[in-house]
Copies of this chain bind each other. A is one copy, B any other.
Amino acid sequence: MYRAPVGEIAHTLKSVAGLGKALEQDRFGDLGEDLVDAILAEAGRFASDEIAPLNEIGDTHGAVLADGAVTTPPGWKELYQSWIAGGWNGLTGPEEFGGQGLPMLLSVATLEMWNSGSLAFGIGPTLTMGAIEALDKHASDDLKAKYLEKLVTGEWMGTMNLTEPQAGSDLNALRARAEPVGDGSYRIFGQKIYITYGEHDFTDNIVHLVLARLPDAPAGTRGISLFLVPKFFVGDDGALGERNDVFCSGLEHKLGIHASPTCTMIYGDGKFGDQPGAIGWLIGEENRGLACMFTMMNNARLAVGMQGVAVAETAYQKALAYANERTQGRAPGYKGEGMSPIVQHPDVARMLMTMKALTQGARAICYSCAEALDMARVTEGDAARAWAERASLITPIAKAFSTDIGMEVASLGVQVHGGMGFIEETGAARLLRDARIAPIYEGTNGIQAIDLVMRKLPLSGGAAVINLIADFKHDAEALRASNSPALDGVADHLDQAIADLESATSYMQAAISDDRKTDALSGATPYLRLFGLTATTAMLARGALADTDAPEAAGRAALARFAAATLAPESRGLAAIATAGVASLSDAAAALA
């Protein structure tokens, strides 16, 4: 059973992702280390004791649709009520509307814990938080006044409605339409698919954010607007009124996250109200909906990255517990009686160390992304822009690397369990099933890699990426300066990985500026992994160099050495593969015939 690794989370926040320094500099008002620790401890307790125990029934029972209503699994509605009663939904919400306005660093740390408890639970609030942010930044004062407070408390939940059957990764192809009513509202028509928590029984109202086209809107993504469409209308007194013309027509039967209802939503079918059309209100400007949606989407991408970290952590804990308990064979050098715990076998230890190193690396990357978001908010001018660019640069790595390793770690977790891993009751397989969605939703990992290479490497003429790599070099220098025997050899491995990352980065930048776009696109995915592994090596070393008197210091150093010796060397091949270019795909059409 999952126990939140509060100590390691706090260490990563403070010593790797810079929360410690930020607190010293009073960057976050009167937030102090005591409050941070108290929040983490209480979140850890809630995730471990309240959420995690309901994950199995969530999986086996699933969400159920009947007569247009979705029932969540037994105990889940009460769990949600208990979670919002704890004030967790409003952690980072705007203070003006009842939120606590705390840093993203705390948000990602707590998000990790909710999702370690259950991915199917954690994804719901993520969407509400996105809706809060989009409304806070782009909506009219009237809409804010009517909806924000209840979204911040969690009394209502929010959704994101982008995908249509013909429009997944390519939002150009959206067809949902919005007709002006004349009173400032619009009638929305269309079908949306894959809508997470599109319908459920957690809350008595649901606030849908829906992308649709106005009449005569330009084609493509410059003709998309964003609308707020409530499930029930809200009176000026805040009371719920009539049902709007939107309903859930189906739930997907999915590989995992069964408790999370994945809905097909029908807007404007005439099922409710006097005439067809779901009534919605414009958020932001006409035809600028995608920009508003990206406000939600970037944070949602980081949140999905946290799901990768979260499922990896749970899979690691489960596998480690099993490996300590299960005995088979006699490991070399084992001194005990009879069979050894399998953790003593080098190959099993290798799997577990790989799981822990990847988890810890992805965690550090994601938290660093949150740090950049926070610093962008509390700084100004060039500094703010540089931090914002850093967040923008790290986001696709945080999303794709973390969710890729989420699958990798969950699969290793099954393997450590041997035959038991394939049996559903053990729970290891469930984590693998749950983990599989994260590389897909909120922009597939292929899309993330393309975003990294095509849009993020060019930021500030390449300065953003150069600055980030400079931080890794600083880690290497700190390693050498420390002369720490416990981290012997790590600097050499890190140097090599950085050199490989730099050469691949130069290749990508040249390919983009020389209009050899397909060369960059062909190697984007291995390039992203190269970035993630180099960051992992650097950040594990950074964490191991901090707080060296702690009881955990020897373990952190061992993990940093392991990562340097067995993950960093992948950089050699990855740099070659990332720069193989489109030539490696020549005649692919013949090969794929």
Contacts and interface: CB of A to CB of B under 8 A. Distances in A.
Interface string A166-198: 011110110000000000000000000110000
Interface string A313-332: 00000001000000011001
A440 B424 contact: no
Contacts of A556: 591
A439 interface: yes
A207 interface: no
A585 interface: yes
A555 B585 contact: no
Interface string A440-456: 11001110011000000
Given A343-B592, A570-B577, 8 more contacts: A254-B424, A255-B422, A320-B592, A346-B518, A348-B446, A562-B584, A566-B577, A569-B580
A255 B417 CA distance: 13
Given A329-B169, A356-B592, A415-B440, A522 B350 contact: yes
Contact of A525 (B254, B350, B440, B444): B350
Nearest to A415: B439
Interface stretch (A120-128, A139-147, A275-283, A430-438): A430-438
A346 B173 CA distance: 20
A583 interface: yes
22 contacts: A170-B328, A193-B419, A255-B424, A255-B429, A332-B517, A346-B582, A347-B450, A348-B446, A350-B525, A352-B588, A353-B591, A411-B436, A415-B446, A418-B440, A555-B587, A558-B591, A561-B587, A562-B591, A565-B584, A569-B573, A572-B573, A573-B574
A423 interface: yes
A561 B415 CA distance: 32
Given A429-B436, A436-B432, A588-B562, A570 B569 contact: no
Interface in A337-354: 339, 343, 345-353
Nearest to A577: B566
A415 B435 CA distance: 12
Interface in A470-514: none
A577 B348 CA distance: 15
A576 interface: yes
Contacts of A580: 565-566, 569
A151 to B, nearest CB: 26
A590 interface: yes
Contacts of A571: 573
How many monomers of this protein are in the complex? Answer: 2
A7 to B, nearest CB: 11
B566 A572 contact: no
A414 interface: yes
Contacts of A356: 591-592
A70 to B, nearest CB: 17
B518 A592 contact: no
A37 interface: no
Nearest to A587: B558
A330 B41 CA distance: 48
A366 interface: no
Given A572-B576, A573-B569, A415 B587 contact: no
B440 A329 contact: no
Nearest to A254: B422
Interface string A264-292: 00000000000000000000000000000
A345 B444 CA distance: 13
Contacts of A591: 353, 356, 555-556, 558-559, 562
Q: Which of A343, A571, A576 has the most chain B CB atoms closer than 10 A to its own CB?
A: A576
Contacts of A437: 422
Contacts of A256: 422
Given A168-B418, A566-B584, A569-B576, A349 B592 contact: yes
A411 B521 CA distance: 21
B558 A521 contact: no
Given A332-B517, A436-B432, A446-B348, A557 B320 contact: no
Nearest to A566: B577
B353 A555 contact: no
A333 interface: yes
A415 B445 CA distance: 9
Among A518, A573, A580, the most chain B Cβ lie within 10 Å of the Cβ of A573
B436 A585 contact: no
A592 B352 contact: yes
B419 A163 contact: yes
9 closest A-B pairs by CB: A558-B587, A572-B572, A569-B576, A555-B590, A565-B584, A255-B429, A558-B591, A569-B573, A347-B446
Given A169-B329, A255-B432, A525-B347, A421 B440 contact: yes
Contact of A583 (B253, B414, B565): B565
Contact of A521 (B253, B255, B345, B555): B345
A352 to B, nearest CB: 6
